[in-house]
Structure formats: structure tokens, C-alpha cells
Amino acid sequence: MNQKGICGRDTLMALLILFFFTLCAVLPVSAAEDGTVLLLHSYHEGLDWPDDVTDGVRSVLTSGQGDIDLYVEYMDTPRLGQSDYADRTAAILGLKYANLTFDTIICSDEYAFHFLREHHDTLFPGTPVVFCGLNYYEDAYREGWENCTGIVEAYDVGGTIDGALTLEPDIDTVYVVNDATATGLSNRQIIESLSEEYAGRLTFVHSTDGTLGEVREEVRTLPPDSIVLLMTFYRGADGEYYEYEDAAAAISSASPVPVYGVWDVYLGHGIVGGKLISGESQGRTAAGMALRIMKGEDPSSIPVITDLQGEYVYDYFQLGRYSLEKAPLPEGAAVVNRPPGSVEIDRGVLIAGVSAIAVLVIAVIFLLCTIRIRKRGERALRRSEEKFRLIAERTFDIIFAMDLQGRFTYLSPSLLRVSGYAPEECMGVPFTKTVDPVDHERCAAAIAAAAAGKSIEGLEVLFRKKDGTMIYLEINSAPVYVDGVVTGFQGVGREITERKQIEHMRSEAFDQIDRNIEQFAALGDEIRNPLAVIVGVADLYCDKEQADRIMEQTRIIDAIITRLDIGWIESEKVREFLRKH
């Protein structure tokens, strides 16, 4: 056989294949659809799973599918969620996207899905929704919500356990690590339904709802014939929040037996492996569904994807840690971190490969620079939005937004402190219904002026609190323009009840001072006239000794009146000073 001829043909074929993939990487694909898509995450940016979902969505929406704008929001519910967190998030999203309409919404994981179920008709009425990353799903979830479809995060727990049994047939106990979050509770429902399939063969033991330290101590004492199945541990019983890699590393380092999982975010952080699903594949599938809807396909005609996902992947380092590197693996399993072996490569193929890689590297660098610039802009926007949110939540003034009819479209949380009303109670309510009837005419005139593009400053109105008492508010507002047209107005309301009371008290005090000064002025004349009569009568009808005594007393009284006159003059000066300053 001619070895040189074979090498030549192989080299030519390799060059053609590399050239084809190079063209696919650098040549643009014809555009298909334009539109705007919102991606709503349950968790925070920087966490592997939502970042992988975002990458998967973006890879589909930007791969020659037209000019599609992707907006990404992170609810961060497990770390920040309180009892009223969903309502606050709805208010912020309502204000942020009041003037923007989405063609499709993609939501990731339980919190975002159930949030949209509750607030969809208020925030995004009529907008189709595609969900992904949903651990537990029932058809009842879509009752009355026809324009919704998606992909269930159908991780294959049974496949992961079967793979573990392939490596270690003598396994007797599966210790399941789970938390009490919404995702954790969904996981437990799935595992409890699955445990019946392994009845009589395996015993499932669930971790207690404790701290990470307590779970580590439980894991540390596991017998040799057991394994650990790491599901989710976002938050411990003490409220401490953990990243994927931190929880996996902490549990793996304490475990004397292999740790398995169902998500690839744990791979490389301490788990041996399993039948793993990825956030990127969930994002790609969800984005594909979104494109079908944007091209006109009815969401209700797209069935929810519930097929089991994932591939067998194992970590060579962890296999070696538990002396399993030579154990049989499930068919088709991949192994990461395997030590490289020596491979002979034809010189021509190597040159062609290096050339193609160089072209691809240049293209990747260009794309990375573009993505980095875009992410920098997105981070700046998020910082600005976070700054506004913190200001709105912490200020004592009422920040508001209204439409052209004077109906509230946004109210900051400080409304509750000032008036007793929760912001959602006043959403859509006309401003005139919250003030005293005597101020209705002035309020209507102010709303008309703002709709005409004028700013309102120093408008004082009587506002009725929830308990029925009245307070004074000072209103300052300015119009909001979109493309040069006034679409509403926004402003600040400050309570000035105490200031109005002080002004009233000051007015009464000046009135009293004026009355006192007038009385001082009249008092001198009213006393001196009788004194003059007394002096005259004493001179005419009294002897000298009595007259002298009367004159002495009248001089004393006259001196007192003189001091009163001096005090009156000083009071005049004090009054003028107070009025001036």
C-alpha cells in the first residue's frame, strides 16, 4: 500500500474540512427575524448555571437570526427574597419596562417561572413566555396561560445512580444532599417518586435541613457502601448562601465516598460525575422555541419538552481519588481531566490545523472584545439601576411617576412610611382622588401644565392618609419625554406638615406681639391722664404734707410708665428684627 498517497489524501481531506468550518465561523448567516427578548433569571449574575443559560440563549439569538435585542434581568431571589420581594421586583420591572414591549420572554428556573405566573398579565400582558430550568412541572401550571411553553429541566437522577452502580455495584445507600429552597423541594419530590424503582436494592437517606457544617459532619461518617448524591445546596438553615462550587467543594472534601450529581456546574469542583445536564443546552433549546414563536408559530402548539437530558461525564481526578479510574464506565461516557497521551500528527495536517486555528482565534478575539464592550455597558446599566433602586427604597420622600391622565404608574416604598398606603394600593389611582377636594382644581391645573411640558415646583396639597388624617405634601415634578413627546411625568413629594404647623404658630406669635405692643402704647396714656388729675386735686385740696406724699407716689408711678415706654420701643425693635430674620 502506498503510505505517501494515503497521507496526501488524508491531508487534503483535513484541509477541506478545516476550511469549511473556518468559513462557517467567519461568514455571516442570512438574517431571519428581528425582535426584542427578555431573559429573566431566578438567580444572580456570576453563578455558573444562569451564566450558562445566558450563553446558550445568546448563542442562538445572535447566530444569524436577525437583529434581536436581548435584555437580561437577574432576580437573585434565593439571596434577597423576603415576603414582599416579588411585589417590589414587579414594581421595579413595571417602571423599567413601562415603555418597552417584548416579542418573547424567556424565564429560567422556579422563582422566575412562578413570578411570571403571578405577574405576567400585569407586567407583560399578551407576551409569549418560554421557560427553562424548571425542576418540577405539572400541566396544571399552564391552565389559563395558553401562550406559554418551554423545556423542563428533566435531569436524569436514575441515570446518574445507574452510572454509579456501574462503577460500584456494591452500593447500598444513597445519601441525598438537598436544601429547603423552592428548587430543593422540587428535587426532593422527584427523588421520592424515583426511590420506588430502587426499593429493595438501595436506601435513600436525605440530609437534614441544617447548615453546611452540619451536612459535612453527616457526610463525614458515611459507610463505605454508600455514595453522596449532591442536588442543590444554595442556602443553609442559618441563611448562609453558597455558590455552586463552594458547596460542592466543601461536601466533597469531607466525604469518604464518591459524590455524584446531575448538573455539569458541579463538575471540576469535587463530584465524580454522573448523567449531567447543562444550562447552556437549556438556554439553546429555550431560545430555539422563542425564535419559532417570533416567526409566527402559536406557543400553545409547541409541546413542553420533558425528555430526559444529559450525557455521562466523569472527572478523572475524582475517579482516581476513589480508585475508580479503571472501573467500567457507562456506554458513551466522556472523561474530563484525563492525562494526555502521545499522538502522531501528519505535518501537513498540523500546519493546516494551526492555520485554521489562527483564523478562528482572531475571530474569537474579535467576538470576545465585542462581548466585553457590551457586558461593560450592561454592568454600567445594572449599577445605575441598582443605585436608583437603593435611593428609591431608602429615601423618606415619595418618588412617583404618572401618566398623562394623572394616574400613578410608579410609587417608591417610602409611600408606606409617609401615608400608610402600600405602593401597589395606589397604582393606577388618579392623583386627585388622594388629595382634599379643595385642592382638586389646583391639582388638575398642575397635571394639565405637566402634560403640556411644564415643570411643577412647590405645589402644596392636603393629602389624605390611609387612617383618614390629613398631611401637607409639597410636589415637584417634571415631564418625561420619549422621542420629543411628553408621555408622562415624574417627581418627588415631600411631607411638610410640620413646616406648615410652624408657619402657623409663627403667624400667631407675631399677631400676639402686635397686640401686646398696641396695649403697651395705650397703657401709658391711660395711666398718665388720671395721674395728672390726681396731682391737680392734691395741690388744691390737700395740705402740704399730704400733697408732697401724693406727688412722691405719682413720680414713682410715672417712672414705671417711662420704663414701660422704653420697653415698648425695644419691643418694636425686636418685632422688626424677628420679621426681618
Q: Tell me the per-residue pLDDT of 60-90, one tens digit each, with 9 for 90 and over.
A: 998 765 688 999 999 998 888 677 888 999 9
CA angle 67, 73, 78 (to 5 degrees): 155
Which pLDDT does position 169 carry in this prediction? 94
Q: Which of 15-29, 262-276, 507-521, 556-570 bottoms out in mean pLDDT, i.e. has the lowest?
A: 15-29
Map residue 86 onto helix, strand or coil: helix
Mean pLDDT, to the nearest integer, of 224-243? Answer: 89
Which pLDDT does position 6 carry in this prediction? 39
Which pLDDT does position 393 carry in this prediction? 63
Which pLDDT does position 14 carry in this prediction? 47
Kindly tell me if the per-residue pLDDT of 299 is higher than 60: yes
Q: Which residue has the higher pLDDT, 509 or 257?
A: 257
128 residue type, one letter: P
Kindly tell me if the per-residue pLDDT of 507 is higher than 50: yes
Find all residues with CB under 8 Å of 305, minimum gap 6, and list them.
150, 151, 152, 154, 285
Q: How confident is the model at residue 205 (pLDDT cuts 50, 70, 90)?
A: very high
Q: Please report where in the chains the cell 430555539 appears, as a residue.
A: 288
Are 115 and 86 contacting, i.e. CB atoms less than 8 angstroms apart? yes
Mean pLDDT, to the nearest integer, of 340-365? Answer: 79
Which pLDDT does position 402 carry in this prediction? 92
Buried/exposed 393-424: b ≥16 CB within 10 Å, e otherwise: eeeebbbbbbbeebbbbbbbbbbbebbebbbb
On whether the pTM is more than 0.85, the answer is no
409 residue type, one letter: T
Which pLDDT does position 410 carry in this prediction? 92
DSSP code for 293: H
CA distance 255 to 253: 6
Query: In the sheet where 334-336 sits, what is the strand order?
Result: 203-206, 173-177, 226-230, 259-261, 273-276, 311-315, 334-336
Q: Which of 355-364, 514-523, 527-536 bottoms out in mean pLDDT, i.e. has the lowest?
A: 514-523
Q: Cα Rg for the chain, rounded, in angstroms?
A: 40
Are 493 and 475 contacting, i.e. CB atoms less than 8 angstroms apart? yes
Which pLDDT does position 230 carry in this prediction? 94
Which pLDDT does position 29 carry in this prediction? 39
Q: How confident is the model at residue 19 (pLDDT cuts 50, 70, 90)?
A: very low
